[in-house]
Structure 1
Amino acid sequence: MNLTELTERLHAIRDRNDWRQFHSPKNLAMAASVEMAELVEIFQWLSEEQSRQLPAEQLEHAGQEVGDIVLYLLLMCAELGIDMEQAVRAKLADSERRFSS
């Protein structure tokens, strides 16, 4: 996944539609949260086993929501000047230090 290319494509959509005015970090965080809630809704009331074996339609829907979340996070990183790949690698390294025996 080329995050730079994805961000450039997102910015092209944003700019064509004059959405930059709405893409403050606060708004992007709220939008990502709404999309996360939509992902959670797919799993509401399912058993653990059912949540691991989604029917094709629900699995596709879950993938769409994951995509929405990631795209909003990419936009937020661009607005804040956060290098997403570096942030994820740093967090993973921290988790490895904290939780590896």
Structure 2
Amino acid sequence: MTDSLSRLAQQLDLFAKDRDWQQFHSPKNLASALVVEAGELLEHFQWMSEAQSRELAPDKRDAVGAELADVLLYLIQLAAALGIDPIAAAQSKLKLNELKYPVDRARGSSKKYDEL
């Protein structure tokens, strides 16, 4: 992990240890919490138009930021629980996606790689 992500993971670990919460932080539970928080993030955009979702009012933007933080925190905890470096995993996935979605076939298309 990058230094800032490693520090954040350490802070999260200490936060959980101080509260004796590691007992609840199985990969399954962390993945479940991550999905719940992602749903709460999505809830802020429910019923919005595309344009409205791009121009959030400051209070709505702050609320979305808090939900993004929750998603990030659970993602970091899940990665740590499984011994996965999320930056390395994302970089590997990006390389794979570059192969699946070559620019000359994917540019401007929302089709899945097997439909290009």
Please confirm whether the aligned pair reaches a TM-score higher than 0.5, indicating the same fold: yes
Stretches of structure 1 that go unaligned for 5 or more consecutive residues are none
How far is 1:27 from its partner? 0.4
Structure with more relative contact order (C-alpha pairs < 8 Å, separation 6 or more): 1
Q: Provide the residue aligned with 2:89 in structure 1.
A: 87
Find out whether 1:59 has 2:85 as its counterpart.
no
Q: Provide the residue aligned with 2:18 in structure 1.
A: 16
Residues paired across the two proteins, number? 101
Give 1:97's match in structure 2, choosing from 85, 94, 99.
99
**Structure exhibiting the larger radius of gyration computed from Cα positions:** 2
Q: Please identify which structure carries the higher helix content.
A: 1
TM-align CA RMSD: 1.0
Stretches of structure 2 that go unaligned for 5 or more consecutive residues are 104-116
2:69 alignment partner, SS class: helix
Q: Which amino acid aligns with 2:10?
A: E
1:43 alignment partner, SS class: coil
Tell me the TM-score normalized by structure 1: 0.95
2:12 alignment partner, SS class: helix
Tell me the TM-score normalized by structure 2: 0.84
Q: Which amino acid aligns with 1:34?
A: V
Stretches of 4+ aligned residues off by more than 3 angstroms? none
